[in-house]
Copies of this chain bind each other. A is one copy, B any other.
């Protein structure tokens, strides 16, 4: 449809998650009509990310050094490990500003349909970390969907062999600010079965 290089840019952007062909076209024409500096800046930060960002040796989060900022921070409580699927989940928990422990990034969730079993996840390094005497609690913060629940269930069974380790799971229930009427039945069922005494 377009002259070659423009179509190439549209195709590349269209391959990124969440960008359809229409958005890709809009972005390509935006970049075409703006200053060349914008394209250069985008490429610079991408190359910088590709060459500088690695993964934390301990928790698997994104990192610039051997250890990520959280693992390297002595003020964080290394006795509590929050287990998440991806680095972006670390960011989500951090945004709450309520958590002072550390993390462990699995790198995904158990999903037989995608060929991802426990061996493809960073479970062995997790067990090594838990074997350290300081660890008191593991919070399972995998996604509340089929794969995340399967992963949590698998880990619960695995971690039951550790004596004196408290294993917890994030609460399921109604989202704050949501509307009871529009809650799906599974969420509402979870909220009911997980109801708490307030009186």
Which residues does A use to contact B, with CB under 8 Å?
1-6, 8-9, 11-13, 15-19, 23, 25-32, 36, 38-43, 45-50, 52-53, 62-64, 68-69, 86-88, 91, 94-95
Contact = CB atoms under 8 A, between A and B. Distances in A.
A91 B116 CA distance: 42
Contacts of A38: 15
A64 B7 CA distance: 12
Given A9-B46, A19-B23, 5 more contacts: A12-B46, A16-B30, A26-B88, A31-B49, A39-B49
Contacts of A91: 1-2, 25
Kindly report how many copies of this chain are found in the complex they form together: 2
A68 B30 contact: no
A173 B162 CA distance: 70
Contact of A18 (B2, B23, B45): B23
Given A3-B68, A43-B43, A49 B32 contact: yes
Contact of A47 (B4, B23, B39, B50): B39
A3 B53 contact: yes
Given A16-B27, A25-B88, A49-B32, A2 B62 contact: yes
